[in-house]
Structure 1
Amino acid sequence: MKGRRILSLALAVLTAVSLLTVSASAAGFSDMVGHWARDDVEYLAAQGVVKGTSATTFAPDQKMTACEALLFCSRAAGVSEEDKAAIAADWADELAELLPDSLYSWAAEEMAVCLETGILSVTELRALSADDGLLKTISRESLAMYLVRAMQLDAMAKNLSTYPMDFADTSSISAALQPYVYLLDTYGIVRGNEANCFLPKSSLTRAEMATMLRRAMDFMEERGLYAELPAYTDYDWVGGTITQAAEDGAGGISLTLTSTITGTQTVTLPAGVTIYENNMRASAEPLSLLQTGTYARVNLDGNGSVLSVRLGGAVTAYTGTVTDIEPGSVTLDVNGVSRRLEIDRFTAIQADGVSIPAQVLSNQGGYTTAACQVDAMGHLAALQLSSGGRTEEGILRAVDGRSGSQTLTVTAFDGGEARYTLPSGTAVTVDGVAGSMSDRYEGCYVNLRVSNDSEGRLTAVSVDTGTQYLQGTVQTVVTNPQNGLALTDMVSGRNTAYLLTDQAAVRYNGKTARLSDVPAGAFATLRLSNGYVTWMDAYPGAANTVKGVLDAISYGDVITLRVRTDGGETASVTADAAAPPTVTRDGQAGSLESLRTGDTVVLTLQGGRVTAVEAQAQSITVTGTVTRTARRGGTVTLDVRLSDGSAVTYEVDSAAPATRDGRSIDAEELNADDWVELVVHNGVVESITAYEDAGRNTRLEGTVLETDTRDETLRVRLSDGGTLTVDVSGASFLTADGGSTSLRRLSKDDRVQLFGDYSGNRFVATLVILL
């Protein structure tokens, strides 16, 4: 888990400038004598912000590569050396895949800072790395975008509706990059040449970059700009929409905030409190800034005293269908438009009415709808998730009412134990009649409706007192002359023999089975009538170690891990949430939240509980087009032409879920030309997401020239050289590796694949894939 450290708000004086104390004259670059940029270069070199090409030369007229420009920008973000090292460690694995080996050893740390601070995205870095773009010269207009992001002004650029400039070549600046150039021009960081030209497509020299960088850093110091990194801070905060701000009579301000999740809170701001607007330290009177309807986050120290206030502007609400939840993001469909929103520790989260931490969010939660509040800075301020909940069943072991609300301990049929909170007023039925929960029902069968959140709240409980159930470990099984078994009762510890009726139903590991299929040591639940077994459900018993593939994790006071063993069986084991097991994943220390469905795991158990987990990531996601489906014996196979043009055949797991255009289907129903995203584990498909329209409609490929998020259109240069306006208002957006993206995340020169149909001269896309 990422470390949490206090990031002092005093970083308005940039860390990159203040850490080193070497004098400017110590740089002594021989090729800077008499050069117009000498002061800027030697000043930044003395601070360790820029470096020479050798011990005595700077090469001021050498063209900047994209990699050099990004590394220079990373040093402007104000990240401390301690945080930089932690960021590099957290991004190490991903950067090892994204960066060429020739760059990784010396560029990885600062490139990690670029990714963490938003200077560039993973998709952008992947595109740059793919065609050696990092080693190519960078244009002045592209540098403008990266530098504005480094200055933490990206949100301001995106919110601009007009950006007039008087450069003689303004019309040559790419439309998508004009807001960035405008901001740098407005704040005096870039200037035109003697002919008042910006030269957007031209490369820039190391000297020009150094001069722009110093101006940017001076501006950031003056305005208090720095990269506030949520994952690397640990100070307390409160947030919400301002409903009232008034002087408190003692020189301070009484600020009232309202949140859909945390309710209404009032905070007293001291006189002279620092307020940030657009990430910049504001100089206006506080009351003129604290306007009703503006989102505000108040940062607090360990004693609850106010450190600063950060304003996010007006809040926009989105409600839609949840399509994906990943660590750090949620993707939802809002009226046919896919929106991916980043989640950080400054996002207030509520799931089925209960506030929860972001670490427990996953697709396993079954969340179906989301209500989001996004401030004008593009930050997800509040996220409310809801679902229909899930059904659990088992044998009631204990009812604890000492803590106020009741807590039920239930042993599931697979032997896993879980505890659930029973809120006051929850509907409880006993033998079909409304009633209340009591410890008299311990040992009875219960059917539970459970909310999908970390609290495991019960929304409904049904108790069956008229049927006798037993649970325990199978000692022996006999099938001649009559089916029977010996069971050690998990409550009493007694070993007792039972006979099965002729019509008794037997299940083992979730499937219909014969009694002879049940091995000694299995955990079994028996339903009895007149002393005979009429129903039996058994699962593999827990050993000292469990090896296999992780199928699911469910959270609560007791954490349950379900593992598909190498023999194809399913084992369910538990861990104590108060003393969670140690976890390593791919050799790195982690936590339960770092595990992923599909990981190969080795679980160590002591006293029936998991104490250690060793995990290896195994599943991969591939995308392509179906060319043929076939059934061979009991197995469905898919022939797929992958996105890279290669052809491959996969077997499909019989339990693999499959959807086409959001509807559940059988794998055999896939059609040739369906576009698919496959989760593959050890060569076997475990999940299928298909799009029929993508395969059957017109398919085009080209390069993005311009994006328009207001009209929801793309201008694309097609592979044949022609240009086309594309209506993407109803399109889904995906990356080539199957991830979600959006129109806002597309940039000029991105390669895209388009699926859809023509409507007159306009192409209406149903799916856009970022290649």
Structure 2
Amino acid sequence: MKGKKLLSWVLAAALCLPGFTLPAMAASFPDVVGHWAVDRIDDAVAKGIFVGIEGKFVPDRTITASEVLAVCARITVDSETRTDIGADRADQIKGLMGDEQSWFHKEYAVCLEAGILTYAELKELYQSGALTQPIAKEDFALYLVRAMQLEPMTKSLTSYNLSFTDKKDITSGLEPYIYVLNMYSIITGTDKGEFQPKSNVDRAVAATMLSKATDFMKENGTSVELPEYADYDNWEAGTIVSATAGDKGVILLTLANELSGAKTVSLSSNTPIYENSMLADKSLLKAGAYARVNEDADGGAISVRLSGSVQIYTGSVVGISADAIMLSVNGVTKTMSYDRFTEVQVGGKVGDRSLIDLDAGYTNAACRVDQLGHMVAMTLTGGTHQEEGLVSSVESIATGGTTLTISGFDGQLQKYTVSTGAAVTANGLALSSATIGSSYVGCYVALRVSNDNASSVASAALDTATKYVQGAVKSTAVDSGVNTVTLTDLSTSKATTYKVASGATFYYQDAAITYGGIQKDWFVTVRISGGELAAMWAYPGSSITEGTISGITFPSGTTKQIISVTKADGSIVSFEFNLSGTLPEVKRSSKTSSLDKLRTGDVVKVTSRYNSVTLVEATPQSANLTGTITEITQTTSGVTITVELDSGAGTGTYTVGTSVSVTKSGTTISMYDLRVGYHVAMVASSDQVSSVDVDKATTASNQIAGTIIFVNTADKIITFRANDGTSEGKIVIVSVPTGTTIQDVSGGTISTTSLSKLATGDTLDIYGSYVNDQFKATLIIRK
């Protein structure tokens, strides 16, 4: 946000032209006494819109296009905001006209910002010399309507009957602008009923039109809103579902939003409501209208902006810039602007325009545009976005390619799949994804990640030449005038002091800070150049990630458990736990629990300190579907179940993927253990299931074979990967009661051993039976 104020209409400072002098505001100029427009001239002078010329008003002097644009700008915003806008667009205006008419540069900038004219229109006026020429009455009407923020309403008109006898002389396309000003009595005809559209405007006519326009704006509570200069950072927007009256005049406004979901906002009895930038009655809060509720820092409603119904334009992306997108819609190219009030969805992430990557290569877009012509939302598909960080681990994929775990600059881990077809480079030289090995751990990498598949990588650029370190700030100091930072490297626990390089940059949560702002215990990623600290990206030492568990996996050949959490913006964060190491505190439904009790679908809050999880707080989702399994189709990647629903709504078919939590009596089972006839309670969305709980228990004798993932000697539990014909195997929880026989035949002889002697990776045959879906061992044989 470039400014700090909500911009209401203001009658601003006097028109400052060379040779102008400011007379006493209370008295009429001598040359307008008895003039037909004396009252309006006096009003315009009193409001500061016009000043005199050497003690006279000179009512018959023509007014130029530049002067009209200046006064239109000045009835739109206050002088302070005009200065801000002028500074922000100074290079743009100077790039067009140099120092010519420098006294009007701020006003031209406001005209561009407020939509009084486009850059192309300003360029044409300047290059043709029309800026300094008298302005035609019909052109004045165009700019004045835009300044009054009435253009969207004007463009929506389908009929406009003009009574002027010379209406045929009006330039095509300008009729509705003249109609609107005539309808609101801001312009009237001559004694002969003519408008005289091509006639030059003199100062008397201009003063009259501006006096009436500002009266109209005041009477109708016109509030000019410029998105980049509004004084609020928070807002909620969507299509009105309902507006319900509450106590003491409060209105509960429910909004539906296809991108960010439904929400209900409380409006006080004095919350202003605007339509077409004019104060409106609460009766206009009708279902189907698009509304944006602007909020203060505490979430209180400041104002409501209504903008009619929303139309969706869907097409292929032709081009995109920092403030506009070009779409090919049914073969026609449309250019549509977006701003800070445009909600944006890219892949699974929903946010504001900061999500847009101009280098992404988006293929398609759906743009939602309201009746005011404002793009309220945009969904972009296709293309890629950049993710960067340090390589934390590298795993080869049996079918080809590599899985990279990346530690972001904030320390959060995310997994990405680099396929064999991805473009991979190391220090600018091409590599095969198959050659990415453990030697690249700790290196910087920039990834182009698919917007449609958050784990799929289109390209990876590795940098082994530049040194990066992730760690915690231990201290800062100034030694003989030299700034230093001491960091504890989290991978080695070793503390190292770095001299701060000249020109080093520092950021805290992406905002620039100074060296003096660095705080002890921050988590940081630093770039080292020539042994000196050249850049630092800092984050709080402790962080909290909230979302829903979307996957739980146990990588083969390890004692690791990986939990994937999908956040509200659609991004996925992975947390890796070494089951043979120190484990975090786990609470589920506020009760002490353990990692093996977590389920996909659980809503979690994960607290990490320096990239190490210290607490997992989980709340299980309530089942939203129950029924009896009537059919099962099995594949190597999961099962599809048909369920006769208890609700009486017939049957539904649901996909149970490899990452779905499947439990029976609170214990994890394999999805392949589901059986026809089981009664299940599921958390499901559409045909996708996040958890399945079976409430029918079975007991069966059995033998299982496989390898140990983890041995919990305290609870006498083995987490076991049983052979089931798949590459990942079946995860089974094995209970080892006191008295269970454990034998070792690995040395060619049979010997008795104990649970404490078993280790990760041992190959076992286990005999026993399933009891409440734990496998209760009676005999264990280590091979």
Using the size of structure 1 for normalisation, the TM-score is: 0.54
Aligned AA (1:170):
K
Aligned to 1:519: none
Q: Against the structure 1 CA distance between its residues 254 and 43, is the aligned structure 2 distance closer, same or farther, given a 3 Å change threshold?
A: same
Aligned to 2:373: 378
Q: Against the structure 1 CA distance between its residues 442 and 397, is the aligned structure 2 distance closer, same or farther, given a 3 Å change threshold?
A: farther
Aligned to 1:336: 331
Secondary structure of the residue aligned to 1:175 is: coil
Aligned to 2:263: 265
CA offsets 1:391-426 (integer angstroms, 9 cap, x no match) = 989972369xxxxxx994369xxxxx8977538xx8
Matched, 1:216 2:189: no
Q: CA deviation at 1:448?
A: 9.4
Aligned AA (2:319):
D
Instruction: Say which of 387, 392, 414 aligns to 1:422.
Output: 414
CA offsets 1:688-726 (integer angstroms, 9 cap, x no match) = xxxxxxxxxxxxxxxxxxxxxxxxxxxxxxxxxxxxxxx
CA offsets 1:120-156 (integer angstroms, 9 cap, x no match) = 1100000000011101111111111100000000101
Distance 2:104 2:242 in 1: 48
Higher relative contact order, structure no. (Cα contacts within 8 Å, ≥ 6 residues apart) = 1
Distance 1:363 1:305 in 2: 34
Aligned AA (1:302):
A
Secondary structure of the residue aligned to 1:263 is: coil
Secondary structure of the residue aligned to 2:174 is: helix
Contact 1:421-1:458 at 8 Å conserved across structures: no
CA offsets 1:641-684 (integer angstroms, 9 cap, x no match) = xxxxxxxxxxxxxxxxxxxxxxxxxxxxxxxxxxxxxxxxxxxx
Q: Against the structure 1 CA distance between its residues 446 and 313, is the aligned structure 2 distance closer, same or farther, given a 3 Å change threshold?
A: same
Matched, 1:351 2:346: yes
Contact 2:93-2:109 at 8 Å conserved across structures: yes
Aligned AA (2:125):
L
Matches within 5 A, 1:563-712: 578=509, 607=532, 609-610=534-535
Matched, 1:174 2:171: yes
Q: Against the structure 1 CA distance between its residues 325 and 428, is the aligned structure 2 distance closer, same or farther, given a 3 Å change threshold?
A: closer
Q: CA deviation at 1:6?
A: 3.0
Q: CA deviation at 1:171?
A: 2.0
Which structure's CA Rg is the greater one?
2
CA offsets 1:226-245 (integer angstroms, 9 cap, x no match) = 32111112312111111222
Aligned to 1:369: 364
Matches within 5 A, 1:277-356: 277-283=275-281, 286=282, 288-356=283-351
Contact 2:28-2:38 at 8 Å conserved across structures: no
Q: Against the structure 1 CA distance between its residues 394 and 350, is the aligned structure 2 distance closer, same or farther, given a 3 Å change threshold?
A: closer
Q: Against the structure 1 CA distance between its residues 604 and 328, is the aligned structure 2 distance closer, same or farther, given a 3 Å change threshold?
A: farther
Instruction: Say which of 170, 184, 189 aligns to 2:186.
Output: 189
Q: Structure 1: which 5+ residue stretches go unaligned?
A: 400-405, 412-416, 431-438, 465-469, 475-487, 492-542, 547-572, 584-602, 613-771
Contact 1:318-1:373 at 8 Å conserved across structures: yes
Q: Which stretch of the first structure deviates more once superposed, 171-180 or 370-379?
A: 171-180
Contact 2:407-2:414 at 8 Å conserved across structures: no
Q: Against the structure 1 CA distance between its residues 418 and 319, is the aligned structure 2 distance closer, same or farther, given a 3 Å change threshold?
A: farther
Distance 1:606 1:445 in 2: 16
Q: CA deviation at 1:273?
A: 3.1
Distance 1:28 1:574 in 2: 61
Aligned AA (1:16):
A
Distance 1:362 1:461 in 2: 16
Matches within 5 A, 1:36-185: 36-54=36-54, 56-77=55-76, 79-99=77-97, 101-104=99-102, 106-185=103-182
CA offsets 1:411-456 (integer angstroms, 9 cap, x no match) = 9xxxxx8977538xx87999xxxxxxxx999839999975467xx9
Distance 2:221 2:284 in 1: 17
Contact 2:311-2:369 at 8 Å conserved across structures: yes
Q: CA deviation at 1:25?
A: 4.0
Secondary structure of the residue aligned to 1:69 is: helix
CA offsets 1:292-319 (integer angstroms, 9 cap, x no match) = 2211011122322222211100100011
Contact 1:115-1:121 at 8 Å conserved across structures: yes
Contact 1:450-1:459 at 8 Å conserved across structures: no
Contact 1:24-1:46 at 8 Å conserved across structures: no
Distance 2:363 2:505 in 1: 27
Matches within 5 A, 1:740-759: none
Distance 1:58 1:168 in 2: 31
Contact 2:444-2:464 at 8 Å conserved across structures: no
Q: CA deviation at 1:213?
A: 0.3
Q: Against the structure 1 CA distance between its residues 391 and 191, is the aligned structure 2 distance closer, same or farther, given a 3 Å change threshold?
A: closer
Aligned AA (1:161):
T
Q: CA deviation at 1:490?
A: 9.4
Contact 1:445-1:463 at 8 Å conserved across structures: no
Secondary structure of the residue aligned to 1:212 is: helix
Matches within 5 A, 1:434-449: 443=441
Q: Against the structure 1 CA distance between its residues 427 and 490, is the aligned structure 2 distance closer, same or farther, given a 3 Å change threshold?
A: closer
Aligned to 1:595: none
Aligned to 2:254: 256
Distance 1:231 1:489 in 2: 37
CA offsets 1:38-59 (integer angstroms, 9 cap, x no match) = 22223322332112233x1221
Contact 2:73-2:147 at 8 Å conserved across structures: yes
Q: Against the structure 1 CA distance between its residues 25 and 76, is the aligned structure 2 distance closer, same or farther, given a 3 Å change threshold?
A: closer
Contact 2:160-2:176 at 8 Å conserved across structures: yes
Q: Against the structure 1 CA distance between its residues 398 and 107, is the aligned structure 2 distance closer, same or farther, given a 3 Å change threshold?
A: same
Secondary structure of the residue aligned to 1:128 is: helix
Secondary structure of the residue aligned to 2:298 is: coil
Q: CA deviation at 1:358?
A: 2.1
CA offsets 1:506-540 (integer angstroms, 9 cap, x no match) = xxxxxxxxxxxxxxxxxxxxxxxxxxxxxxxxxxx
Secondary structure of the residue aligned to 2:41 is: helix
Distance 2:12 2:317 in 1: 41
Distance 2:90 2:293 in 1: 32
Q: CA deviation at 1:189?
A: 0.1
Secondary structure of the residue aligned to 1:340 is: strand
Q: Number of paired residues?
A: 466
Q: Against the structure 1 CA distance between its residues 168 and 351, is the aligned structure 2 distance closer, same or farther, given a 3 Å change threshold?
A: same
Distance 1:280 1:580 in 2: 37
Matches within 5 A, 1:427-506: 443=441, 450-451=448-449, 458-460=454-456
Q: Structure 2: which 5+ residue stretches go unaligned?
A: 17-21, 395-402, 421-436, 471-499, 515-527, 538-783
Q: CA deviation at 1:98?
A: 2.3
Contact 2:167-2:195 at 8 Å conserved across structures: yes
Aligned to 2:751: none
Contact 1:74-1:110 at 8 Å conserved across structures: yes
Distance 2:459 2:66 in 1: 65
Q: CA deviation at 1:27?
A: 6.0
Q: Against the structure 1 CA distance between its residues 127 and 362, is the aligned structure 2 distance closer, same or farther, given a 3 Å change threshold?
A: farther
Distance 2:243 2:109 in 1: 40
Aligned AA (2:372):
M
Matches within 5 A, 1:380-419: 380-389=375-384, 396-397=391-392, 408-409=405-406
Aligned-CA RMSD value? 4.4
Instruction: Say which of 199, 202, 205 aligns to 1:202.
Output: 199
